[in-house]
Structure 1
Amino acid sequence: MSEKEFRQEDSKVEVKGFEARYYDRLMDIITLGWYPKFIRKAIADIGLKPGECVLDFGAGTGRNALLMHEHIGDSGKITALEIGPEMQAQFKKNTAPYPNIELVDRRIDGPLPYENEYDVVFISFVLHGFVQELRGRIIQNAVRALKPGGRFAILDYNNFNVDEAAWYVRYAIRKVECPLAEDFIDRDTQAMLRPFGFDRFEERFYFKNYLRLLKAYKPS
C-alpha cells in the first residue's frame, strides 16, 4: 500500500459521540473483559519509576493515566494531551483526585511546546490512525519532548502480514479498523523511528504477537 491512497479523513482515531461517552465500558464488553487486564500489563511493561514525568499522547478517558500514576506516584507528573470533548470530560472526572495529572487541549500532530522535559512519551493505539506524514510529526514531537535517554513507548499493532493473520484479526483490521491501520502494520515501525534519532529498541508482544509495546530510546 502507499500512503498516497489515504487521507486523514479515512482515520477513526478521533472517537466521538456515543462511542466516546462510553468508551471504557464498550472496550471492556467488546473484549469480554480482556482489555483491562491487557492494558494494565502493557503499562507495567513500560517500566515506569516513581517520580518520572510522562507525556501522554491521545490520553482518552484517563484510564491509562491512572494506571501510569500507580507507578510514578505523587512525586511524578503526567501531562495528557486530548482534544475530544467527551474524552476530556471523562478524563477530568476520572483523574480529579490527582493534582499531578494535567489535561491539555492540544493536538499531537501539531507544534508542541515541550523540549527535553519528559522521561517517557506514551501513545496507545493512536499512531496507526494517522497518515504517514503526520506520524512523522508525532514522532518528531516525541523525540523533542524527551529528555536524553528517555523512551518513546508505542502501544499499537505489531508489524505482520495481514493476509496470513487469523481470520478474526483480518476481519478486525479490514472491516472494523480504518484503512490507515493496515498501512501502519505493513511498515517497519523501527525503521520509521530511526531517522528521528532513536537508536535502541525494546519490545513486548501480546495477543499472539499481533499487538506490541515498542520502547524506542532517545540517545543520552
Structure 2
Amino acid sequence: MQLWDFAALTYYRVLDRFSGTLNRLAIDELALRPGEAVLDIGCGTGALLPALAQAVGAQGRVVAMDVSPRMVAVARKRARRWPNVEVRQADACDTDHGAAEFDAAVALGAFSAMPDVPAAVANAADALKPGGRLFVFDVRLAKKTRATRFLRAAYRRVAGFSGADVVVELRRVFERVEPVFRVEGETTAVVVARKVTDTATGSACTPCRPAG
C-alpha cells in the first residue's frame, strides 16, 4: 500500500495527463448510457471519474474504489463536483461491492497488481447485473520470452505481482471475454468481459468462483 500512496503523490499525476486515449476507449467499449451505475475498480487518483460521470449523467451512479488512502484522497477531491460519484477506500480482493448493483465496471491496470486476482475478478463479476460488462486494460506477461521474464521479475519486485494471468482468471468467471483489438499485445491485454444472461430465465449465469 505504501507504494501506491507514494505513487499518488508523484508519477500518477503525470500519468493522468496521458490517460485520455485509454479513458475514451474504456467509455466507448462499455457503451455507457445515462442512468446506469458503473464501478471503477482500482481507480487510482480518479482520472476516469469525469468521463464516467458525464457518460451516466446526473441520474446515473459512479462508485470508485482503491486500496491506497492517498489515491482515494486525491480521487475524492476530483469527485466533489458530482453528487452521484462516491469514492471508497477498499481492497478489491476481499470487498463485496454489492450483488448485481452495477451495469458496468472498469479496471485499468488494477487486477494484475492485486495479491489475489481470482478473488478480485470474482467480486467484480458478482457486482454486475445480468448482461453487465467489464472493461479491462492490464498487464499480461503470459508468454515466456526473455523480455517478459525480465518484466515479470521487475513487476513482482515493484508491485508484488503474483504471476496470475488476468485474462485466464476472467475466462474462469465470465463466459464471454472478448479482445478489443484483433492483435493481442505481448505484455498487455485489452478486453471486455460480459456477464451472460440466460435468455430462457432472464437471470445471469452464476460466476464460477475459483476453489479456495
Q: How do residues 193-208 of structure 1 correspond to structure 2 at under 5 angstroms?
A: 193-196=170-173, 198-205=174-181
- What is the CA–CA distance in structure 1 between the aligned matches of 2:86 and 2:13, rounded to whole Å? 23
Query: What's the TM-score, normalizing by structure 1?
Result: 0.74
SS in 2 for 1:91: helix
Q: How do residues 163-174 of structure 1 correspond to structure 2 at under 5 angstroms?
A: 163=145, 174=153
Give me the identity figure in percent: 24
- Structure of greater relative contact order (alpha carbons < 8 Å, 6+ residues apart): 1
Q: How do residues 63-78 of structure 1 correspond to structure 2 at under 5 angstroms?
A: 63-78=47-62
- What is the CA–CA distance in structure 2 between the aligned matches of 1:188 and 1:97, rounded to whole Å? 33
The question of whether the paired residues in 1 share the 8 Å contact of 2:103 and 2:128 is answered with yes
Q: How do residues 110-189 of structure 1 correspond to structure 2 at under 5 angstroms?
A: 110-131=94-115, 134-158=116-140, 161=143, 163=145, 174-175=153-154, 177-178=155-156, 181=161, 183-184=163-164, 187=165, 189=167
Counterpart in the other structure of 1:40 = 23
Mark the CA change 1:208 to 1:151 in structure 2 (over 3 Å): closer, same or farther: closer
SS in 2 for 1:54: strand
The question of whether the paired residues in 2 share the 8 Å contact of 1:123 and 1:153 is answered with yes
5+ residue gaps in structure 2?
A: 198-212
Which amino acid in the other structure matches residue 80 of structure 1? A
Q: Bigger shift: 44-53 or 94-103?
A: 44-53
The correspondence for 1:87, drawn from 49, 66, 71, is 71
- What is the root-mean-square deviation in Å for CA atoms of aligned residues? 2.9
Q: 1:108 deviation in Å?
A: 0.8
Q: 1:40 deviation in Å?
A: 2.5
Structure 2 residue 97 is matched with structure 1 residue 97: no
1:18-57 deviation per Cα after TM superposition (whole angstroms, max 9, x unaligned): x2113433326xxxx6x32332333233322222111111
5+ residue gaps in structure 1?
A: 1-11
Q: Bigger shift: 152-161 or 91-100?
A: 152-161
The question of whether the paired residues in 1 share the 8 Å contact of 2:30 and 2:134 is answered with no
Q: Which runs of 4+ in 1 moved over 3 A?
A: 169-175, 179-182, 205-208
Counterpart in the other structure of 2:191 = 214
Which amino acid in the other structure matches residue 149 of structure 1? G
Counterpart in the other structure of 2:203 = none
Query: What's the TM-score, normalizing by structure 2?
Result: 0.76
